[in-house]
Chain A
Amino acid sequence: MNWANMLLALIGFSGGVAVGSGFVAFITVLDIIPRLVQLTRSHRHLRKMEWALVGGVVFFTLLDFYGWQIFLPRWCASLYGLLAGVFVGMLAAGLTEALNVFPILAKRLQMDEKLLYLLMAMVLGKIAGSLLQWMLPL
Chain B
Amino acid sequence: MSVHTLSVLVENRPGVLARVAGLFAARGFNIHSLAVGTTEDTQYSRMTVVVDLKTKSLEQVVKQLNKLINIIKVVELDNDAIERELALIKVRARGDDRARIIEIADIFRARISGVSRGTITVEATGSADKLAALQDLLAEYGIVEMARTGVVALGRDDRGIKERMLRAASDE
A and B found bound together: no
Which residues of A pack against B, CB within 8 Å?
none
Which residues of B pack against A, CB within 8 Å?
none
